[in-house]
Amino acid sequence: MQNPQNSIVFQPLTSAIRALAMDAVQQANSGHPGMPMGMAEIAEVVWRKHLRHNPANPAWANRDRFVISNGHGSMLHYALLHLTGYDLPISELKNFRQIGSKTPGHPEVHHTPGVETTTGPLGQGLSNAVGFALAEKLLAADFNRPGHNIVDHHTYVFLGDGCLMEGISHEAASLAGTWGLGKLIAYYDDNGISIDGKVEGWFTDDTKKRFEAYGWQVIGPVDGHDSAALQAATLEAKADAQRPTLVICRTTIGAGSPNKAGSADSHGAPLGAAEIALVREAIGWNHAPFEIPADIYAAWDAKAAGAAAEGEWSTQFAAYAAAFPELAAEFTRRLSGQLPSGFKAAADSLLDKVQAKAESIATRKASQNAIEALAPSLPELLGGSADLAGSNLTHWSGSKELPPGSLADAAGVNYINYGVREFAEVAIANGVALHGGFIPYTATFLVFSDYCRSAIRMAALMNIRQVLVFTHDSIGVGEDGPTHQPIEHTASLRLIPNLNVWRPADTAETAVAWTHGIERHDGPTVLALTRQNLPFTQRSAQQLADIRKGGYVLADAADAQGVLIATGSEVGVALAAQKLLAEQGVAVKVVSMPCTRLFDLQDAAYKSAVLGKALPRVAIEAGVTDGWYKYVGLEGAVVGLDRFGESGPGGALFKQFGFTAERVAETLKSLL
């Protein structure tokens, strides 16, 4: 599958990439030199002949997006950023994979200038790229006008065998073909090698036929070390505006290494000093480590071309703003991530209506009501569900679904049918959010959050604003049985840093959760919502404000002898238990804790005031118990469920498993 080593003609511009990659990995004594050395020619063609970007302004709105999905080859990206003039000095390359450097082991967005998304978990970068291309297409449909194409850029993505072996690549690539994302161009590093050796023993897919079946234009295989062939392939790819393109590039991993090229030995370990000396001789690179001649820097430097490209676009945008001032202002606002002026009024009105109606409905329905109330003021809100819209209740009256094909009728689209593709759904939405101009929300059953957990984690890691609507949140699912009844999922999601997990108790908490999730700029929000109806509780203005603190006293009691802490559907059980205990002469207060992370972020005085000092505490949640002991202490108790559920009516299951006022009351009394 690989090109013979002696067939490659090494050029100074690509030798610079190879040298920087192998030297940085060697100095760090850690990393992956093989991919950067194998994809050097592909990178040179894309970055020097096609990629529109401005190193002086990595956030330029109409820049092309570039993603390395095979993120272990991060030194390729860092070498390109350094050589083309980004604020990534050679000292950072020398500090590769070290604490505090801007060159971490895998590319990280918001950390290294010019990096568009955090990659490493294979296949997700490709899915993010699909999201970038989708966002470009939808923004163009919303804002471009005849003679004014202010949104017009490509998304380029590099990927490897590992990305294509991951199942998420099937999900995302299928959607990209269905949507006709003609400005998405992927370069497949077909080197036949992964960590364990030659992939022919475990990866025999016909990749060409596979992507053709998805509706992609497939070019190649081409010689991935032949710049002329790569240039021709890229021009052909850009000529097809109706289909995404996969360019299959036959390459040699570790190209330039006399003894380790074409083998797993160059994949994930330093080449070694002796081999690096041989590489220098083989590629004609007679320079010390991290030394780049001035003429090489000059040939790579993209600052002047980038400034000119952005300047030309700025001129175009000025003309656009003169012709369409309101559209230009809206475009600028949406790209800035700031919410429209009418959002706060819509959110306040929603909460007022919720209080006035006092409806006892399922929180999934309360969520739909919140979308209905907030979406008209949020043209950037882009919803979607993994084939469960009728159950997740993510549609609203103004939903306009994404059509298949070339998206000719994409203006005003605000809803996506992802099909049964939970993992790709969240990863694509991550790309949409990173692109800018949209606030995505996605949906499935809570139990299927397992399928997309890695993408949820990446959203939290990247501080992405996305709302994840997960319905059917407990044994209240009922007759579908234990396969569909989430037991550990809410607790497991709470373990992810920077992820706000809301389990609201009624329409008021749901409205606040939705509003908070949209307002949040620094991370994703999960809404765990019920299938069954829940009782509504009236609140004071202070209580409504305190919902945002994640936990608050919902029902106080004078001279309280204990505290009941509950979340979601179990808040109603706690309130019933409070009443029962009062009848027995035992006063307790009820704390609703819809978002444990936000409660944990409050100061000690507030938390102490809410939970009470030296009072017996009982936590109630229809799920695993471990996470609640940090609130009740070892001397407290948790009414929970540390086993799988059963098939039967939801109400009957709550009784069978002891989520009743009587059991909660007895548990609290046992602590007195």
- Report the catalytic residues: 422
8 A C-beta contact, residue 490 and residue 640: no
In a 13 Å sphere around the CA of 162, the CA atoms on its Cβ side amount to 20
In which element (H, E) is residue 525 found?
strand 525-528
CA distance 206 to 192: 13
The runs of H, that is alpha helices, within 12-160 are 12-28, 34-38, 40-49, 74-84, 90-94, 124-143
* Amino acid, res. 223: D
Report d(CA 95, CA 104) in Å as an integer.
9
CA of 523: how far to CAs of 81, 95, 465, 496, 517, in Å? 26, 28, 5, 11, 9
Strands (E), 99-216: 155-160, 184-190, 193-194, 197-198
Cα 441 from Cα 164, distance rounded (Å) = 26
HSE of 652 in the Cβ direction (CA atoms, 13 Å)?
Answer: 7
CB 661 within 8 Å of CB 579: yes
CA-to-CA distance for 383 and 395, rounded, in angstroms?
A: 8
Q: What is the 3-state secondary structure (H, E, C) of 84-98?
A: HCCCCCHHHHHCCCC
* Strand 439-445 versus strand 467-471 pairing type: parallel
CA distance 282 to 11: 11
Tokens 């008209």 locate to: 376
In terms of residues, how long is the chain?
672
Q: How far is residue 220's CA from residue 532's CA, in Å, rounded to a whole number?
A: 53
What sign has the CA pseudo-torsion 570, 573, 577, 579?
positive
Peptide bond into 221 cis (omega under 30): yes
Give me the half-sphere count of Cα atoms (radius 13 Å) on the Cβ side of residue 10.
22
